[in-house]
């Protein structure tokens, strides 16, 4: 799996990050997995055409000492679909910038 991983998160920063994720995305669906909705302007043509699959999301897995962000664009509405694919370069950049901005906003620096 292609991922963006932020590791060595301190316990106090973990709690602050969990609070922020809960605030923005609600309680995690599965364990510590959150769903980051992707901005529709970044959808590929195939992804944009699949209205029934929207919103497309990126999974964020909050571990005790790390945050794992998958580069697989998913739909929560289906297990498999043609619109699910690894992030394009623009989508990857958006994922990294979004996660980094969240960490900077919490003053969690590495």
**Lowest mean pLDDT: which of 36-45, 54-63, 77-86?**
77-86
- Predicted confidence band at 110 (pLDDT cuts at 50, 70, 90)? low
Report CA Rg, the chain.
Answer: 14
pTM > 0.85: yes or no: yes
Instruction: Tell me the average pLDDT of the chain.
Output: 93
- Where in the chain are the domains? 3-100
Task: Give percent of the chain above pLDDT 70.
Answer: 99
The secondary structure element, H or E, covering residue 18 is helix 11-25
């Amino acid at each position: 799996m292609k991922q963006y991983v932020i590791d060595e998160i301190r316990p106090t920063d973990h709690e602050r990050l969990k609070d922020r994720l809960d605030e923005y995305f609600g309680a995690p669906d599965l364990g510590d997995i959150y769903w980051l909705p992707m901005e529709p302007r970044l959808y590929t043509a195939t992804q944009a055409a699949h209205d029934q699959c929207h919103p497309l999301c990126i999974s964020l897995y909050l571990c005790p000492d790390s945050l794992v962000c998958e580069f697989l664009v998913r739909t929560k509405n289906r297990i498999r679909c043609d619109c699910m694919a690894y992030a394009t370069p623009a989508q990857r950049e958006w994922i990294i910038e979004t996660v980094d901005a969240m960490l900077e906003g919490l003053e969690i620096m590495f």
